[in-house]
Amino acid sequence: MSSFPRPIATTRSVTGISTGKLAVWWLIASEIVIFGGVLGSYLMHRIGHPEWASHAAHTNTWAGAFNTLVLLTSSLFAVLAHQAADQKDGKKAAKFLYLTVLGAFTFLIVKSIEWTGEIQAGYTISSHTFWSFYYTAAGIHGVHVLAGAIIMLVIASDAKKGVDLQRVEAVGLYWHFVDIVWIFLFPLLYIAK
């Protein structure tokens, strides 16, 4: 696809913000309302059903806390990758992006171990509405983590060659957003008991 002719439109920047970054901001805006819908519905149910706490008690708070830490660390790497990209150091940016991806996969692995345990204990997506929300909200978030990891791998391989370094910042923005969503999910699904 390298022969793809870029229209002149892509080179303009009336707002002064790069187009890619602008698009990521809009993407984040539309994602906020999606997660807002899930979390809003969950909160409404949760407030109406205090007895759900007995189900929430079976979530693995330590795994959740560890994952929070993993994501926060990976966000730090994303910031470092952005800094490196700003200094036009593609190799270094790629290195930090790979570390971010490592964080993403650690998160997913911990998550899958956690879920396996819970499903074996009989808490499946259809066993109770709390668990339906638990798997749905975390599942949608997990898909975002996976998508972010794949995009970062693509961008890192470009950045290594010094191509499209401005994308490092854009994907970093997206990654911070994914982290912030988790910051909301963690207390709502794990801590509130």
Partner 1 sequence: MSSSSTATAQAPEAEHDAHGHGHGHDAHGGHHAPQSFFHKYLYSTDHKIIGMQYLFTGMFMALIGGFTVYAFRMQMAFPGMSVPGYGRVSAGDYNALVTTHGSVMIFWVAMPVLIAALGNYLIPLMIGCDDMVFPRLNRLSYQIFLLSVIVLIASFFVDGGAFGGAWTSYPPLSAKAQYNLTPLGAPMCLTAVALEFAAFLMGGINFVTTVMNSRAPGMKMFDVPIVIWSIIIASILFMASVGPLIAGAIMLLFDQTLGTAFFDPNKGGDPVLWQHLFWFFGHPEVYVVLLPAMGIVAEVIVTFSRKKLFAYKTVLYTMVGTGVISFFVWAHHQFVAGIDPRMANIFSVTTLLVSIPVAEMVFVYIATLYGGSIRLTTPMLWALAFIAEFLLGGVTGIYLGSSGADIYFHDTYFVLAHFHYTFFPIAFIAVFAALTYWFPKMFGRYMNEAWGKVHFWGTIIAFNFIFIPLFLLGARGDHRRIYDYTHFPDLMKPGMQDLRVLATVSLVVLLCFQVIFVVNYFLSMVRGPKASANPWKANTLEWAAPSPPPHGNFPDGLPTVHRGPYEYSHPDRQEDYWPQNAS
**Phi, psi at 35, each rounded to 5°:** -65, -35
Half-sphere exposure for 50 (CA within 13 Å, toward CB): 0
Cβ distance to partner 1 smaller for residue 69 or 154: 154
What is the Cα–Cα distance from 155 to 145, expressed in whole angstroms?
A: 15
- The correct pick among 73, 136, 160, 180 for binding partner 1 (CB under 8 A) is 136
Q: Residue type for 178, please?
A: V
> Does 117 interact with partner 1 (rule: CB under 8 A)?
no
Mapped onto helix, strand or coil, the DSSP state of residue 87 is coil
- Paired tokens of 15: 């707002």
Closest CB 158 distance from partner 1, rounded Å: 15
> Does 35 interact with partner 1 (rule: CB under 8 A)?
yes
Cβ distance to partner 1 smaller for residue 72 or 143: 143
Cβ distance to partner 1 smaller for residue 33 or 57: 33
> Does 57 interact with partner 1 (rule: CB under 8 A)?
no
Which H/E stretch holds residue 104? helix 90-120
Half-sphere exposure for 92 (CA within 13 Å, toward CB): 11
What is the Cα–Cα distance from 31 to 25, expressed in whole angstroms?
A: 10
- The correct pick among 99, 102, 140, 153 for binding partner 1 (CB under 8 A) is 140
**Number of residues in contact with partner 1, rule: CB under 8 A?**
42
Q: Which residues bind partner 1 (CB under 8 A)?
A: 1, 3-10, 12-15, 17, 19, 22-23, 26-27, 29-38, 40-41, 44-45, 49, 125-126, 128-129, 132-133, 136, 140
